[in-house]
Structure 1
Amino acid sequence: MMPNFEDNTINTIKESSRVLIHFDLVLEDGSVAESTKAHNKPTLFQLGDGSLSSELESELMGLSIGDKKEFKLPPNAVFGEINPNLIQYFTPRDFLETGVPEIGTIMMFNTASGSQLAGVIKSVDEESITVDFNHPLAGKTVEFKVEIIDVDPIDPL
């Protein structure tokens, strides 16, 4: 029997597919938080490896090469809710080496385990500097605009 080259199931996203994808992340105010298309650099995801939420993976299931889809996901399905425990307060003395940062500055901080963590300066006054270690998109509903470039690519990039 001859293979049926019209069968597109081999190009359909399944539970453990590797997916090369273009995406835009659009916030509720219409601003684009991230765009792989703008930089012409699609991203490769491995479904089932824990890097994507189950809600995001379920939106991609069944799509095929060339498919486009738009969908919204709530904060708990993407970057999480804002965790008040990740907002920390420092004194200006803590910034003697670097100088007092401006509001909105993203800085790297050393953790007790020796790794580094990015924090955003939220407020600065004479007595205190507030640093938010939440993901910048935490607490936000995000609209995804996706385009499937390849499914289980042999040489993805």
Structure 2
Amino acid sequence: MNELPVDKGTRVTLHFALKFDSGEVVDTTFDKTPAVLNIGDENLPQNFEAYLMGMKAGDKASYQVPPEKAFGQRNPNNLQVMKRHVFGADMVLEPGVVVSFADARQQELPGTISRVEGDEVEVDFNHPLSGRTLTFDVEIIDVEPVGPAH
């Protein structure tokens, strides 16, 4: 069994699940192919990587992750009210619909419609998981050093 601990410069094969307090599963690999990531490659948010540090192949753990270490607290400044005509005439506008916008740098910025009232459409640009405490279940399958690129 590999005894290498998870650290910077390692490639980790793992199963994970993100769940709400209610037990509702947000995302999981336990029923699929395990995830493979290089620590520090930003595939996993840094705060989630921190929970993995020092774990070894075969280790299992479950962590309660507060909003500050997950996707942040909700920010009321991220709610924007727009006029109806900004959206395409044939677009379905109702709470829960995710709309993609371009930010100032032309990067994709998703927003979730939170309210439609007359000519006003309120769009929430907070991360959908912001303000939520999450349970992060993890099972480390393998840890290996990341070799030099060939």
TM-score between both structures, scaled by the size of structure 1? 0.81
CA distance in 2, matches of 1:66, 1:142: 23
Task: Find out whether 1:111 has 2:93 as its counterpart.
Answer: no
- Would you tell me which structure has more strand in proportion to its own residues? 2
Q: SS in structure 2 opposite 1:85?
A: helix
CA distance in 2, matches of 1:61, 1:110: 35
Q: Give matches, 1:1-157, under 5 Å.
A: 8-10=2-4, 12-38=5-31, 40-49=32-41, 51-54=44-47, 56-152=48-144
CA distance in 2, matches of 1:31, 1:153: 34
Task: From the CA coordinates, give the structure whose radius of gyration is larger.
Answer: 1
CA distance in 2, matches of 1:75, 1:46: 24
1:86 Cα deviation (Å)?
Answer: 1.7
RMSD of the TM alignment (CA)?
2.1
Structure 1, gaps ≥5 residues long: 1-5
1:63 Cα deviation (Å)?
Answer: 1.4
Note if contact 1:53-1:78 (Cα within 8 Å) is conserved in structure 2.
no
Change (3 A) 1:52 1:110: closer
TM-score between both structures, scaled by the size of structure 2? 0.84
Structure 2, gaps ≥5 residues long: none
CA distance in 2, matches of 1:153, 1:9: 11
Length, aligned pairs only: 145
